[in-house]
A and B are shown apart, each in its own frame.
Chain A
Amino acid sequence: NAGVTQTPKFQVLKTGQSMTLQCAQDMNHNSMYWYRQDPGMGLRLIYYSASEGTTDKGEVPNGYNVSRLNKREFSLRLESAAPSQTSVYFCASSRVPGQGGAYEQYFGPGTRLTVT
């Protein structure tokens, strides 16, 4: 099993350019997430998808859009990149939280994005 995979690993954009970050998981998880990681701030949730066909905003959704393409894939799009979006982006997946509570998340290796 590859687990959670992300492409690309690195990307440099100019202000105003657009791009899509791709994420796929092969663990048959229903829930998927996008986070950004900035120094001293931990991880902050951008968007999540509780199950195929649904998406919801997290803590910092402004400037981003997402698409849950199918059960395996969840993409993150920056329509008009800004320097403030320079960060490391992580995709994660998990089982659907149920009566037993929340389940751990499995993370991809990350995409390091620089916006100049």
Chain B
Amino acid sequence: AQSVTQLGSHVSVSEGALVLLRCNYSSSVPPYLFWYVQYPNQGLQLLLKYTSAATLVKGINGFEAEFKKSETSFHLTKPSAHMSDAAEYFCAVSVGAGGFKTIFGAGTRLFVKA
């Protein structure tokens, strides 16, 4: 069965520091992978997605993620954290016939210290 594991339910960084949020997946077929962000009391918004066109994917707000098949990973990074990046981040994989069923990780809450 497909699954998504996000390492670390909480991550704290200083403003200006590197952001690294980890995501590992398991899938028996080539996956379609996504990162979503959720700000307080809002719905999820797409940050970026991997659809096999390129292993390094750039998203909005300076985020990017690299698909590593050998490590079954899709970690999210940003070179320099900003206070506005404080939010919860979800890694997700689309599975099943037609890709309708999306499996979400448990989420990682990012705190940014001044």
The prevalent SS among residues of A at the interface is loop
Is there a chain B Cβ closer than 8 Å to A102's Cβ? yes
Evaluate whether A90 and B44 lie within 8 angstroms (CB atoms) in the complex, with A101-B52, A101-B94 already known. yes
Q: Provide the bound-state CA to CA distance between A88 and B51, in Å.
A: 29
Shortest beta-carbon contacts, A-B, top 5:
A107-B43, A102-B99, A102-B94, A97-B99, A42-B104
Which residues of A are in contact with B by a Cβ distance under 8 Å? Answer: 4, 31, 33, 40-45, 48, 50, 56, 58-59, 90, 92, 96-97, 100-110
Chain B residues within CB distance 8 Å of chain A: 4, 9, 32, 34, 41-46, 49, 51-52, 90, 94, 98-102, 104-107
- 18 A-B pairs within 8 Å (CB atoms) are namely A31-B100, A33-B100, A42-B4, A42-B90, A42-B104, A42-B106, A43-B90, A50-B98, A50-B100, A90-B43, A90-B44, A96-B98, A97-B99, A104-B34, A106-B46, A107-B43, A109-B41, A110-B42
